[in-house]
Amino acid sequence: MNVGWSREQIAQRLAQDIPNGSYVNLGIGIPELVARFVPAGRTLVYHTENGLLGMGPSPAEGQGDPELINAGKRQVTMMPGSAFFDQATSFAMIRGGHLDLSVLGALQVAANGDLANWSTGADDAIPAVGGAMDLVAGVKRVFVMTTHTTKDGEPKLVERCTYPLTGRAVVDRIYTDLAVIDVTPGGFEVVELAPQVTAEYVEERTGAPLTWNAMLQARH
């Protein structure tokens, strides 16, 4: 049974909400899909925290440079107008509030905007954080892109995170396969449902209370 948006459709939906000219950092993995769906006529500038502004797509086979890579250590290209810089400068962009948007994956998001996305805290896990804590602390807006539940069906949107935090009260908006959800002072507020997804369906798969924005309320 396939209910809701595919990964590509989540990326496409999220991409619609990024204004032209934004400086954007896409997290490694699913968030990288967003770059494929930027609406025509909009130009975004991609930041990769290892030291490049103006990152372009993967190179053609055999055309890559092992020392032109992204934060996921995969080879990339550079767009016209790109710049290289060191790590202190790169994180000055992040921590100094110069980037407009960070799109990150999640293990859990809490109703107050707490994010857990770097460690399950398991005893045998090798902890690794990279730039995630810097991104959530410094970038102007933080979007999370994730499946609504884990592979085992556990909610990822919860009252309180049980995994180690990446940051406190840092998430602005969440894009899942089922819905678009804002983090508000009153908790999770659903602003849009994927086609054929009902309010009850989302509620059953969410670990915290949901409110509904005015337009969705009118539909009930």
What are the residues binding another protein (CB under 8 A)? 48-52, 65-69, 73, 84-88, 90-91, 94-95, 114, 119, 124, 126-134, 137-138, 164-168
Quote the least distance from Cβ 61 to another protein, whole Å: 15
Cβ(190)–Cβ(213) under 8 Å?
yes
Quote the least distance from Cβ 17 to another protein, whole Å: 25
Quote the least distance from Cβ 125 to another protein, whole Å: 9
32, 49, 61, 67: which one is catalytic?
49
Quote the least distance from Cβ 170 to another protein, whole Å: 9
Residue number with CB closer to another protein (66 or 80): 66
Residue number with CB closer to another protein (100 or 134): 134
Q: Tell me, what amino acid is at 68? A: L
Residue number with CB closer to another protein (10 or 144): 144
189 an active-site residue?
Answer: no
> Which residues are annotated as catalytic?
49
